[in-house]
Amino acid sequence: MTEGRARARGQGEVTERRRRPGRRPGSADTRGEILAAARRVFAEKGFDKATIRGIAREAGVDPALVHHYFDTKEGMFVAAMKLPAEPTAVIPGILAGPREEIGERVVRFILTLTSDPTSREQMLGVVRTAVVNDEAAAMIREFFTTAILARIGAGLGIPPLRLQAAFGQMMGVVMMRYILRLEPLASAEIEDLVELLAPTIQRYLDEPGRGDAAGPGVSRG
């Protein structure tokens, strides 16, 4: 091989290396190391103040490599905390469709998600951690508020209190159904619960002022 060809080959290899996202030499599980770094950064700074660049710095990799594995900060948080679903994939489906059926969609989604043992244990595991760990509770609260409630609230045009009441009630149902295993709630069919709970959740998620003229305790139907 001539000196010119060798030089050209060497330059090509350097160019090829530059095209690849920066990876720490000798690392067999780069994705796992990024997630470990993400957990540390989320725990220290919370969800809102954590950044992709800061997580990359903690992991010792280029930010481009973080984006290679995770499209968004929300997606990284979901993977780091082992949550059962990513908001960007779920929320559009909840918001799509008639406004008067939003309560039904929310109830059916939560009950269907928690009916899967793996998803349910992931969700309940996060709740248990938040109960005994103040830092984890703050981190999860920021994520839930920013990535879920704020987006749904913006899509529906309703205040945070209504959303928190709706999701708080559904979380209570999940706790009674799967933690306390209170019968007959624990063994009730999903569709029976959707029929029972959807009208109440719908009332929380209706546009402010809609139906209020009837007054409290007065039937509208």
Over residues 87-133, the pLDDT tens digits come to 888 899 999 999 999 999 999 999 999 999 988 888 888 888 888 88
pTM score above 0.95 = no
Residue 1 has pLDDT above 80, yes or no: no
CATH class of 29-81: mainly alpha
Amino acid at site 60: G
Domain range list for the chain? 29-81, 83-208
**In terms of C-beta density within 10 A (0-12 exposed, 13-18 middle, 19 or more buried), how is residue 98 classed?**
exposed
What is the fold, at CATH topology level, of the domain defined by 83-208? Tetracycline Repressor; domain 2 (1.10.357)
Long-range contacts of 26-31 (CB under 8 A, 24+ apart): 30/61, 30/65, 30/69, 31/69
Over residues 45-65, the pLDDT tens digits come to 888 888 999 999 998 999 999
